[in-house]
Amino acid sequence: MTELPTPENPLRIGTRASPLAMAQAHMAAAALIASHGIDRTALEIVPMTATGDRIQDRALAEVGGKALWTRELDAALDAGTIDIAVHSLKDVETLRDARFFLGAMLERADPRDRLVVRAGIDAAAIADLPQGARLGTSSPRRAAQVKRIRPDLETVLLRGNVATRLAKLAKGDADATLLAAAGLERLGMHDIGAVQGSDVLLPAASQGAIGIECRADDVATRALLAAIDHAPTHRAVMAERAFLAALGGDCRSPVAAHAVWQDDGTLRLDAEIFSEDGADHAAGHAIIAHPGAPEALARRLLGEAPDSVRRLFSA
């Protein structure tokens, strides 16, 4: 039987200090309490400020990529000052250090994007935005998708947590932006923005998924996490991440990938890769019937893609 944490020997839950990350850490704590009957006082949430949260004026690709979201948590986990780390998996590098183990994913929330516009603009879809409108984003995927739909739109850098981006939008730094529906829901912002269909804006790999890591050699904590793992989410998200790994892309590579369980019990992975301006792309899907299927889809799309797309990936 797995030994449970106690108030005297609590399980320390590391998280970024942003409101959304804190909400996700509390979701992880609630799942552990519900599954194991752990006393709430036996769980300690340890917030820390990630480098990515401190840098607001540049695209992450220019200053270190996704590691800027995980560096501090990784160091604390490795040093033993926290026992688990709760992540928005979209922000976690595809290839992780072997010292860490992804022990659980909570059930995925809505993976789609929402379009949010500033006051005075009436638009529920990209196609509705005014001619030449400025859409703020730091995501190469979103920028390429938007430009593919509306080449006349200008994409401008918009970074920060949800509240910061909404404040910048209200100030007029951009006319519109795209935010993850899952994050808005977790913050209680149920009425903010209009959901965009996955057929219009295919989501980013791992979007809407919360991952919980521990040290690979921490057998007791691995057992705790195994009980709260949502296996369908885990399998779908790992297919998306395997596709990313096979592409060899980085934070500058515009790519979308989303795996969905079908009514017949099969897992379908849809994916798109783009040129930076969205003008060129390759798209396809695969049924994930064996472990190598995501990689095969990546090879196929790279083979079909024009050079303007292929050069953005290192596979």
Look at strands 154-156 and 100-105 and give their pairing.
unpaired
Query: Coil, helix or strand for 15?
Result: strand
Rounded Cα gap, residues 290 and 292, in angstroms: 6
Residue 259 falls in which region: left (phi positive, over 0), alpha (psi -120 to 50) or beta: beta
Query: Which residue in 279, 66, 254, 56 sits closest to 142, CA to CA?
Result: 254
Which candidate in 91, 113, 229, 270 is catalytic? 91
Query: Which residue in 284, 283, 273 sits closest to 308, CA to CA?
Result: 273
Look at strands 100-105 and 43-48 and give their pairing.
unpaired
How many DSSP H helices and E strands does the chain contain?
11, 13
91 carries an active-site annotation: yes
Cβ-Cβ contacts under 8 Å for 173 (sequence gap 6 or more): 136, 156, 158
For residue 72, what are the CA distances in angstroms to 61, 164, 169, 192, 303? 18, 22, 29, 31, 38
The CB-side HSE value for 143 (13 A sphere, CA atoms) comes to 19
Contact 98, 198 (CB under 8 A): no
Rounded Cα gap, residues 90 and 95, in angstroms: 12
Rounded Cα gap, residues 282 and 289, in angstroms: 22
For residue 315, what are the CA distances in angstroms to 93, 96, 154, 249, 284? 16, 18, 30, 8, 17
Active site amino acids: 91
